[in-house]
Amino acid sequence: MGRNIKKSIAELIGYTPLLELSQYEKLLGLDAHIIAKLEYFNPNNSVKDRIALAMVEDAENRGLLKKGDTIIETTSGNTGIALAAIAASRGYKFRTYIQDRVSIERTKVIQAFGGEVIKFSQVEPYNRIMEETHGDFIAATRALVDVILSKEKNIFFSYQIENKINPAIHEKSTGPEIWRDTDGDVDILVAAVGTGGTLSGAGAYLRKKKPLIHIVAVQPGPDSVPTDDNPEPDEIAGVHRFSDMPPDRIPHTFNLDILDEAIAVETSEARTAARAVAKSDGILVGTSSGAVLHAATLLARRAENKGKTIVVIFADTGLHYLSTDLFTESVSSV
Protein backbone atom coordinates (compact mmCIF):
# COMPACT_ATOMS: atom_id res chain seq x y z
CA MET A 1 0.00 0.00 0.00
CA GLY A 2 1.30 3.47 -0.90
CA ARG A 3 2.94 5.47 1.83
CA ASN A 4 0.88 8.58 1.12
CA ILE A 5 -2.49 6.95 1.76
CA LYS A 6 -4.22 8.50 4.75
CA LYS A 7 -5.91 6.45 7.47
CA SER A 8 -8.24 9.08 8.95
CA ILE A 9 -9.77 12.46 8.13
CA ALA A 10 -7.64 13.77 11.00
CA GLU A 11 -4.67 13.51 8.64
CA LEU A 12 -6.39 15.74 6.09
CA ILE A 13 -6.85 18.75 8.35
CA GLY A 14 -4.69 21.83 7.92
CA TYR A 15 -2.08 22.85 5.34
CA THR A 16 -4.75 24.76 3.44
CA PRO A 17 -3.56 26.84 0.46
CA LEU A 18 -3.05 30.55 0.08
CA LEU A 19 -4.42 32.18 -3.05
CA GLU A 20 -3.96 35.74 -4.25
CA LEU A 21 -7.27 37.19 -5.39
CA SER A 22 -5.65 38.58 -8.52
CA GLN A 23 -8.76 39.17 -10.59
CA TYR A 24 -10.60 40.77 -7.67
CA GLU A 25 -7.66 43.12 -7.13
CA LYS A 26 -7.63 43.99 -10.83
CA LEU A 27 -11.39 44.47 -10.96
CA LEU A 28 -11.30 47.00 -8.13
CA GLY A 29 -7.97 48.57 -9.03
CA LEU A 30 -6.38 47.71 -5.70
CA ASP A 31 -2.71 48.47 -5.10
CA ALA A 32 -2.31 45.98 -2.25
CA HIS A 33 -2.17 42.19 -2.46
CA ILE A 34 -5.08 40.28 -0.91
CA ILE A 35 -4.09 36.69 -0.15
CA ALA A 36 -6.85 34.31 0.95
CA LYS A 37 -6.25 31.39 3.30
CA LEU A 38 -8.79 28.93 1.86
CA GLU A 39 -9.97 27.02 4.92
CA TYR A 40 -12.69 25.27 2.94
CA PHE A 41 -9.93 22.93 1.75
CA ASN A 42 -10.21 21.20 5.12
CA PRO A 43 -12.14 17.90 4.79
CA ASN A 44 -15.36 19.32 6.21
CA ASN A 45 -15.01 22.64 4.43
CA SER A 46 -14.22 25.05 7.25
CA VAL A 47 -11.56 26.37 9.61
CA LYS A 48 -13.41 24.68 12.47
CA ASP A 49 -11.96 21.29 11.51
CA ARG A 50 -8.76 22.45 13.17
CA ILE A 51 -10.27 23.14 16.59
CA ALA A 52 -12.63 20.15 16.47
CA LEU A 53 -9.78 17.68 16.08
CA ALA A 54 -7.56 19.51 18.57
CA MET A 55 -10.24 19.71 21.28
CA VAL A 56 -11.17 16.04 20.89
CA GLU A 57 -7.56 14.86 20.97
CA ASP A 58 -6.82 17.00 24.01
CA ALA A 59 -9.88 15.62 25.82
CA GLU A 60 -8.86 12.07 24.98
CA ASN A 61 -5.32 12.65 26.21
CA ARG A 62 -6.57 14.10 29.49
CA GLY A 63 -9.11 11.33 30.08
CA LEU A 64 -12.09 13.67 29.69
CA LEU A 65 -13.47 11.76 26.70
CA LYS A 66 -13.81 8.00 26.57
CA LYS A 67 -15.57 5.28 24.62
CA GLY A 68 -19.35 5.58 24.84
CA ASP A 69 -19.34 9.30 25.63
CA THR A 70 -21.28 11.96 23.74
CA ILE A 71 -19.49 15.07 22.46
CA ILE A 72 -21.59 18.23 22.82
CA GLU A 73 -21.20 21.77 21.48
CA THR A 74 -23.20 24.93 20.83
CA THR A 75 -22.61 26.38 17.39
CA SER A 76 -23.69 28.47 14.45
CA GLY A 77 -22.95 25.45 12.31
CA ASN A 78 -19.35 24.89 11.24
CA THR A 79 -18.00 23.71 14.59
CA GLY A 80 -20.94 21.33 14.78
CA ILE A 81 -20.16 19.92 11.34
CA ALA A 82 -16.49 19.48 12.18
CA LEU A 83 -17.14 17.84 15.54
CA ALA A 84 -19.83 15.58 14.07
CA ALA A 85 -17.33 14.30 11.50
CA ILE A 86 -14.55 13.80 14.03
CA ALA A 87 -16.98 12.07 16.42
CA ALA A 88 -18.11 9.72 13.65
CA SER A 89 -14.54 8.87 12.67
CA ARG A 90 -13.64 8.06 16.29
CA GLY A 91 -16.81 6.25 17.30
CA TYR A 92 -18.40 8.88 19.57
CA LYS A 93 -21.97 10.14 19.61
CA PHE A 94 -22.48 13.84 18.95
CA ARG A 95 -25.13 16.40 19.89
CA THR A 96 -25.21 20.07 19.03
CA TYR A 97 -27.35 23.02 20.03
CA ILE A 98 -27.54 25.20 16.95
CA GLN A 99 -28.72 28.73 16.21
CA ASP A 100 -32.20 28.77 14.67
CA ARG A 101 -31.58 30.80 11.56
CA VAL A 102 -28.49 29.10 10.16
CA SER A 103 -28.72 27.59 6.69
CA ILE A 104 -30.42 24.19 6.42
CA GLU A 105 -27.29 22.70 4.82
CA ARG A 106 -25.49 22.82 8.16
CA THR A 107 -28.18 20.85 9.96
CA LYS A 108 -28.34 18.27 7.19
CA VAL A 109 -24.59 17.74 7.12
CA ILE A 110 -24.42 17.24 10.90
CA GLN A 111 -27.26 14.75 10.69
CA ALA A 112 -25.54 12.96 7.81
CA PHE A 113 -22.61 12.29 10.16
CA GLY A 114 -25.05 10.81 12.70
CA GLY A 115 -25.18 13.87 14.93
CA GLU A 116 -28.22 15.06 16.86
CA VAL A 117 -29.30 18.65 16.18
CA ILE A 118 -31.33 20.69 18.67
CA LYS A 119 -32.31 24.27 17.87
CA PHE A 120 -31.80 26.94 20.50
CA SER A 121 -35.51 27.78 20.49
CA GLN A 122 -36.32 24.25 21.66
CA VAL A 123 -34.28 24.53 24.84
CA GLU A 124 -34.84 26.32 28.13
CA PRO A 125 -33.12 28.41 29.39
CA TYR A 126 -31.31 28.93 26.11
CA ASN A 127 -34.19 30.42 24.13
CA ARG A 128 -35.31 32.67 26.98
CA ILE A 129 -31.85 34.10 27.51
CA MET A 130 -31.33 34.58 23.78
CA GLU A 131 -34.55 36.61 23.67
CA GLU A 132 -33.80 38.63 26.79
CA THR A 133 -30.26 39.51 25.68
CA HIS A 134 -30.92 39.97 21.96
CA GLY A 135 -28.97 36.89 20.98
CA ASP A 136 -26.19 36.83 23.56
CA PHE A 137 -24.63 33.54 22.50
CA ILE A 138 -22.09 33.65 25.33
CA ALA A 139 -24.61 34.12 28.15
CA ALA A 140 -26.97 31.51 26.72
CA THR A 141 -24.21 28.94 26.34
CA ARG A 142 -23.03 29.41 29.92
CA ALA A 143 -26.62 29.05 31.15
CA LEU A 144 -26.97 25.84 29.17
CA VAL A 145 -23.88 24.46 30.89
CA ASP A 146 -25.11 25.43 34.35
CA VAL A 147 -28.71 24.30 34.01
CA ILE A 148 -28.57 21.27 31.70
CA LEU A 149 -25.14 19.94 30.84
CA SER A 150 -23.80 20.05 34.40
CA LYS A 151 -26.37 17.40 35.32
CA GLU A 152 -25.53 14.95 32.53
CA LYS A 153 -23.09 12.07 32.69
CA ASN A 154 -20.90 10.51 30.02
CA ILE A 155 -20.60 13.69 28.01
CA PHE A 156 -17.78 15.92 26.90
CA PHE A 157 -18.75 19.54 26.23
CA SER A 158 -15.97 20.88 24.02
CA TYR A 159 -16.95 24.47 24.95
CA GLN A 160 -15.28 26.26 22.06
CA ILE A 161 -15.75 29.72 23.58
CA GLU A 162 -13.83 28.73 26.72
CA ASN A 163 -11.45 26.01 25.51
CA LYS A 164 -7.85 27.23 25.40
CA ILE A 165 -7.08 24.57 22.79
CA ASN A 166 -9.09 26.68 20.32
CA PRO A 167 -6.58 29.54 19.92
CA ALA A 168 -3.65 27.22 20.71
CA ILE A 169 -4.17 25.07 17.61
CA HIS A 170 -4.20 28.17 15.40
CA GLU A 171 -0.95 29.34 16.96
CA LYS A 172 0.46 25.87 16.30
CA SER A 173 -0.85 25.39 12.76
CA THR A 174 -2.64 28.29 11.03
CA GLY A 175 -0.10 30.97 11.91
CA PRO A 176 2.97 28.92 10.93
CA GLU A 177 1.32 27.89 7.65
CA ILE A 178 0.72 31.54 6.73
CA TRP A 179 4.30 32.48 7.64
CA ARG A 180 5.76 29.57 5.68
CA ASP A 181 3.68 30.05 2.55
CA THR A 182 4.25 33.81 2.38
CA ASP A 183 7.96 33.47 3.20
CA GLY A 184 7.24 35.94 5.99
CA ASP A 185 5.91 38.55 3.57
CA VAL A 186 2.69 39.34 5.43
CA ASP A 187 1.87 42.85 6.61
CA ILE A 188 -1.77 42.59 7.67
CA LEU A 189 -3.87 39.70 9.00
CA VAL A 190 -7.67 39.93 8.80
CA ALA A 191 -10.21 37.49 10.26
CA ALA A 192 -13.79 37.55 11.50
CA VAL A 193 -14.50 37.05 15.18
CA GLY A 194 -16.82 34.32 16.38
CA THR A 195 -14.94 32.70 19.21
CA GLY A 196 -11.91 34.79 18.25
CA GLY A 197 -9.68 31.73 18.36
CA THR A 198 -8.44 31.89 14.78
CA LEU A 199 -7.32 35.52 14.94
CA SER A 200 -5.92 35.20 18.46
CA GLY A 201 -3.86 32.08 17.76
CA ALA A 202 -2.64 32.83 14.25
CA GLY A 203 -2.09 36.44 15.21
CA ALA A 204 -0.02 35.48 18.26
CA TYR A 205 2.33 33.40 16.14
CA LEU A 206 2.69 36.02 13.42
CA ARG A 207 3.22 38.80 15.96
CA LYS A 208 6.15 36.85 17.43
CA LYS A 209 7.66 36.47 13.96
CA LYS A 210 6.90 40.01 12.83
CA PRO A 211 6.14 42.44 15.68
CA LEU A 212 4.90 45.20 13.36
CA ILE A 213 2.22 43.09 11.66
CA HIS A 214 -1.19 44.80 11.68
CA ILE A 215 -3.89 42.50 13.10
CA VAL A 216 -7.49 43.33 12.20
CA ALA A 217 -10.68 41.81 13.60
CA VAL A 218 -13.98 41.93 11.72
CA GLN A 219 -17.29 42.25 13.55
CA PRO A 220 -20.90 42.91 12.48
CA GLY A 221 -21.96 46.49 11.84
CA PRO A 222 -24.62 48.21 13.98
CA ASP A 223 -27.46 47.30 11.61
CA SER A 224 -26.50 43.61 11.64
CA VAL A 225 -26.79 42.94 15.38
CA PRO A 226 -30.02 42.56 17.39
CA THR A 227 -31.27 45.57 19.33
CA ASP A 228 -34.56 46.67 20.92
CA ASP A 229 -35.41 48.57 17.75
CA ASN A 230 -34.16 45.81 15.42
CA PRO A 231 -34.60 42.49 17.26
CA GLU A 232 -34.23 40.23 14.21
CA PRO A 233 -31.69 41.76 11.82
CA ASP A 234 -30.13 39.97 8.89
CA GLU A 235 -27.06 38.66 10.75
CA ILE A 236 -23.69 37.30 9.64
CA ALA A 237 -23.81 33.72 10.91
CA GLY A 238 -21.11 32.92 13.44
CA VAL A 239 -19.68 36.46 13.63
CA HIS A 240 -20.23 38.34 16.88
CA ARG A 241 -19.77 41.93 17.98
CA PHE A 242 -17.13 42.56 20.65
CA SER A 243 -16.64 46.33 20.70
CA ASP A 244 -18.19 48.03 23.71
CA MET A 245 -19.21 44.67 25.17
CA PRO A 246 -18.73 43.88 28.87
CA PRO A 247 -15.94 41.39 29.62
CA ASP A 248 -18.38 38.59 30.44
CA ARG A 249 -19.71 38.74 26.87
CA ILE A 250 -16.28 38.26 25.30
CA PRO A 251 -15.23 34.63 24.68
CA HIS A 252 -12.23 33.56 26.76
CA THR A 253 -10.70 32.34 23.52
CA PHE A 254 -10.44 35.89 22.15
CA ASN A 255 -7.36 37.92 23.03
CA LEU A 256 -8.40 41.55 22.58
CA ASP A 257 -4.90 42.74 23.42
CA ILE A 258 -3.53 41.35 20.17
CA LEU A 259 -5.72 43.61 18.02
CA ASP A 260 -4.53 46.70 16.23
CA GLU A 261 -7.88 47.51 14.66
CA ALA A 262 -11.51 46.42 14.48
CA ILE A 263 -13.64 46.92 11.36
CA ALA A 264 -17.43 46.67 11.43
CA VAL A 265 -19.10 45.22 8.33
CA GLU A 266 -22.80 45.08 7.56
CA THR A 267 -24.37 41.88 6.26
CA SER A 268 -25.22 43.49 2.92
CA GLU A 269 -21.57 44.51 2.44
CA ALA A 270 -20.40 40.99 3.30
CA ARG A 271 -22.77 39.45 0.78
CA THR A 272 -21.73 41.84 -1.95
CA ALA A 273 -18.06 40.97 -1.46
CA ALA A 274 -18.76 37.21 -1.38
CA ARG A 275 -20.71 37.43 -4.64
CA ALA A 276 -18.01 39.56 -6.24
CA VAL A 277 -15.12 37.18 -5.53
CA ALA A 278 -17.19 34.23 -6.73
CA LYS A 279 -17.55 35.92 -10.11
CA SER A 280 -14.03 37.39 -10.30
CA ASP A 281 -11.88 34.49 -9.04
CA GLY A 282 -14.16 31.45 -8.87
CA ILE A 283 -13.93 31.37 -5.06
CA LEU A 284 -17.18 30.37 -3.33
CA VAL A 285 -17.21 31.43 0.31
CA GLY A 286 -19.73 32.19 3.04
CA THR A 287 -20.94 35.45 4.50
CA SER A 288 -18.27 35.70 7.20
CA SER A 289 -15.56 35.42 4.55
CA GLY A 290 -17.37 38.07 2.55
CA ALA A 291 -17.20 40.32 5.61
CA VAL A 292 -13.46 39.69 5.89
CA LEU A 293 -12.97 40.44 2.20
CA HIS A 294 -14.93 43.70 2.47
CA ALA A 295 -12.72 44.77 5.39
CA ALA A 296 -9.59 43.80 3.46
CA THR A 297 -10.80 45.85 0.51
CA LEU A 298 -11.15 48.92 2.73
CA LEU A 299 -7.62 48.31 4.02
CA ALA A 300 -6.24 47.81 0.50
CA ARG A 301 -7.65 51.18 -0.58
CA ARG A 302 -5.68 53.05 2.09
CA ALA A 303 -2.69 54.88 0.66
CA GLU A 304 -0.39 53.66 3.44
CA ASN A 305 -1.09 50.04 2.44
CA LYS A 306 -0.01 50.35 -1.18
CA GLY A 307 2.06 47.31 -2.13
CA LYS A 308 1.44 45.55 1.17
CA THR A 309 0.33 41.94 1.62
CA ILE A 310 -3.00 41.42 3.34
CA VAL A 311 -3.77 37.83 4.39
CA VAL A 312 -7.45 37.10 4.95
CA ILE A 313 -8.96 34.00 6.54
CA PHE A 314 -11.76 32.59 4.40
CA ALA A 315 -13.38 30.44 7.05
CA ASP A 316 -15.77 28.24 5.10
CA THR A 317 -17.37 27.32 1.80
CA GLY A 318 -20.27 29.03 0.10
CA LEU A 319 -21.77 25.59 -0.49
CA HIS A 320 -23.16 25.82 3.06
CA TYR A 321 -25.26 28.83 2.01
CA LEU A 322 -26.96 27.72 -1.20
CA SER A 323 -30.38 27.56 0.47
CA THR A 324 -30.04 31.23 1.43
CA ASP A 325 -30.16 34.23 -0.88
CA LEU A 326 -26.40 34.83 -0.62
CA PHE A 327 -25.80 34.01 -4.29
CA THR A 328 -29.21 34.77 -5.73
CA GLU A 329 -29.19 38.54 -5.71
CA SER A 330 -27.48 40.77 -8.26
CA VAL A 331 -23.94 41.94 -7.56
CA SER A 332 -23.62 45.59 -6.65
CA SER A 333 -20.44 47.63 -6.45
CA VAL A 334 -18.01 46.70 -3.70
Q: What dotted CATH number matches 48-157?
A: 3.40.50.1100
Residues recognised as catalytic: 48, 288
Inter-axis angle of helices 104-112 and 78-90, nearest 10: 10
Q: Mean pLDDT across the stretch 102-117? A: 93
* Out of 36-40, 237-241, 266-270, 308-312, least confident range: 237-241
Q: How far is it, in rounded angstroms, from Cα 285 to Cα 181?
A: 21
Say yes or no: domain 9-42+169-321 is CATH 3.40.50.1100. Answer: yes
Give the model's pLDDT for residue 125. Answer: 64
Cα radius of gyration rounded to whole Å, the chain? 19
Choice between 299 and 232, residue whose per-residue pLDDT is larger: 299
Q: Point out which residues pair with 79 in neighbouring strands.
A: none
Indicate if the pLDDT at residue 118 is higher than 60.
Answer: yes
Q: Which letter, b or e, does each residue of 125-161 get, where b requires 16 or more Cβ atoms within 10 Å of its Cβ?
A: ebeebbeeeebbbbbbbbbbeeebbeeeeeebbbbbb
Lay out the sheet containing 261-265: strands in order across.
Answer: 18-20, 33-38, 309-314, 188-192, 214-220, 261-265
pLDDT digits (tens, 9 = 90+) for 120-170: 778 776 666 666 666 677 777 887 788 778 888 999 999 999 999 999 999
Domain boundaries, the chain: 9-42+169-321, 48-157
Indicate if the pLDDT at residue 322 is higher than 60.
Answer: yes
Q: Mean pLDDT across the stretch 178-195? A: 98
Q: Mean pLDDT across the stretch 187-192? A: 98
Give the model's pLDDT for residue 126. Answer: 60
Give the model's pLDDT for residue 333. Answer: 46
Q: What phi, psi does 117 have (nearest 5°)?
A: -115, 125
Q: How far is it, in rounded angstroms, from Cα 329 to Cα 97?
A: 30
Query: Matching CATH topology for 9-42+169-321 and 48-157?
Result: yes
